[in-house]
Every structure is written in structure tokens, then in C-alpha cells.
Homo-oligomer: A and B are copies of this chain.
Amino acid sequence: MKQQKVIHGGDIFQAARRTGLSPEDIVDFSGNINPLGIPEGLKTFILDRLDTLGHYPDMEYLALRTALAAYAGCSADQVMVGNGGVELLSLLFRAQRPKKALIPSPTFNEYERDLNLLGVEVVPYRLKEELDYDLDLEGLLSAFEPGIDLLILCNPNNPTGRRISREVLLSLLDYTREHRILTLVDETFIEFVKDISASQVVTLLPQYMNLVVLRGFSKFFALPGLRLGYMMADPSVLQWMYRYKEPWTVNSIADAAGAFLVSDQALFQTYREWVLKERAFLYEKLSGFPRLKAYESEANFFLIKLLHTDMTASDVKEHLEGKGLLIRDLSSFYYLDPSYFRVAIHTRENNLALLEGLTEILQPA
């Protein structure tokens, strides 16, 4: 059985060991940033519920699933919760046992790691640099070679930040439904897009039995330490996954906090407004660097390519790490050469520190 070592972003602990800095002194542009810190309301809420640690969580997570369904626009029986998206991806693949997966790439590495563990063949479809890594329907349709029974779409895509258009999505769902190809749409970053309702596909679940949607709390709510993700699909699809599911993988704090967070409309609006404003600011500034190309993004990060320089992303990373700024080198991704890196949108103060660090290393000769 083949196994790849996947390098994850956001590991401030490893960065700390590398640099000798303490984890608190590292500004993480590689992961997910909550600009406002943990909401005070959530802290109070958790404190009031610490006694729930003394029970096993509700094995059915009924309250949590009901809250998530109301938030995402489906019914509770279409929702399964898990220990981050990682658990749910693994369960989906173990339950469905696909043989061959088509995956527009570059994209999130974990899909391939999980599929490899199960011996599933992965066919990467090369997203075109000349299209700014947007998904082209015709190209992808021509890539459906015989035997493909799984399509994975990350929307908006990590690490490119690009969104798939509604037309392309619907055409693909029609095609895969007709050909009985399971289609996973990873909406981990969906709350960051400009027009959520025109981008999400959860409400299409009743029409597409072959559709599975993944979301979580690590990115938009910026709580990766909570370990909470959820998958939405027809109950018959989830039923197969439950056969493999271990009980209680979401702990009591995450159980309670998840329901609390998706019920807080004001928090949602505040986060959205902050991200959209800061994204516009950072995009404008990054676009001013003659030696960089920043791809316009509908996520909370930017794919960036180094131009007109012998420097690699690794050089940039090393320089910034010396200043306690952790970015994501993308050399482990398909079709991205060593000139690509990714930065997340951070607080204004830290964004300015990043821009300053980039100016130092990229100033005109």
C-alpha cells in the first residue's frame, strides 16, 4: 500500500522548532486566520458547557446536525459530522470504494493521499495557467476516460482561490449524474465567495443523488483546533458511510460550539465583511509588485507566482520565516513549479508586515 507524506500548511509548531521562535511569535499566513480571535460569546458559551465533557457526546449529534442543516440549506438527515474534513473524506472513500478519480489540479493534496491509501487510481486534470487556473468545461469533459467513477471539485479551489462558474458546475453535475459518477464538491472555502447562494450546491442535493458536499469550521470560522467538519449528501450515501464511522469523533466542546457558531448571523456578517475588505486591499497591494503575479481570489488566500527572478518560493519562505512570517511553499502541488506560493489574508497589521517583507526581498535590482 502506497503512502505519501503530505505537507500541511499551518503547522506553526514545526515552524517554531525550525526557527527557534516560540509558536506564539509566528504569524501564520499558511493557514487560516480568525482576525477577531475567538468570539467572546463563544468563550462564555463553552465555559458554561464544560460539564458536557463528563458525558459521551450524543452519538447521533442531532442538535448539531439540525443547526448545520438550517445553516447550509438542507435537512438534518442529509448531514454527517466528523473530526474535520479529513475523517469524512476517508469515510466517503472507504464506503464508496471508487476505482478511478478525476481531480482538477493543482488542488488540496489530502484527496490523493486518502485515495492512494485505498489503492484508488488518481487521474489529475491539468488546470490551465493561461486561464488563470479556471476550470474549462470542455477540457475537463474530454478528460473523463473510461472507468472514472469519482470527480472531485474544490470550490473555490485551494490553492488557486478560483471559483467554478455556476454553468460549468451544473453541466458537470448533469454529466456525472448521467454517467453515475460520484461527485464531491469541497465547499470548505464557500463562505468566502462574493455570492454564496449562486456558488453553493447544497440545495441541489435532492436533484443529484451522486452529489456529496464537504464543509467545515477550520477556514471561515478559523477554528482548526476545534476539529469539526460536515458532509452533506443523500441519506442513502451517508448510510453507507455510517457503517465505517467510529462513534463520537467530534468532542463535546466542538459539538456545542458548532451549533452556536452557525446560529450567530451577526458573527457571520462581521467575518464576511472583514475578509472581503481585506482581500481587496491585499490584492491591490500584491498586484503592485512587478515581480509577482497574484491571482484574483474568492477564498481567504492568494496564489502567487514569482516573475522575472531566479528566486524560488522556498527563498521567499526562508526570508519571511526569519521575520516570523510563515507562508506556504506550493512545490508539493501538481503542475506548480517552485515559483508558486500561497499567502492567507491576515489582519491589516500583519498584512502590512508581509508586504514589507516581500518588498525587502523583491525590490527592483
| Residue ranges of A at the interface with B (Cβ–Cβ < 8 Å) | 1, 3, 8, 10-14, 23, 28, 31, 33-34, 37-38, 42-43, 46-47, 50-60, 62, 83-84, 86-87, 90, 117, 218, 222-227, 243-244, 246-255, 257
Contacts and interface: CB of A to CB of B under 8 A. Distances in A.
Nearest to A223: B53
A60 B11 CA distance: 10
B246 A227 contact: no
Contacts of A84: 246, 248
Contacts of A218: 56
A104 to B, nearest CB: 24
A60 B249 contact: no
B14 A83 contact: no
A346 to B, nearest CB: 12
Task: Give the most central of A226, A227, A247: most B CB within 10 Å.
Answer: A227
Given A59-B8, A243-B3, A249-B87, A225 B13 contact: no
Given A90-B246, A246-B83, A249-B249, A225 B53 contact: yes
Contact of A53 (B51, B226, B249): B226
Nearest to A58: B13
A55 B225 contact: yes
A50 B46 contact: yes
Contacts of A56: 8, 10-11, 31, 218, 224-225
A28 B55 contact: yes
Contacts of A57: 225, 227
Given A8-B247, A57-B225, A83-B249, A51 B37 contact: yes
Contacts of A58: 11, 13
Contacts of A52: 225
A248 B86 contact: yes
13 contacts: A1-B243, A10-B55, A31-B55, A34-B54, A43-B50, A46-B46, A52-B225, A53-B223, A53-B257, A56-B225, A86-B247, A225-B252, A227-B249
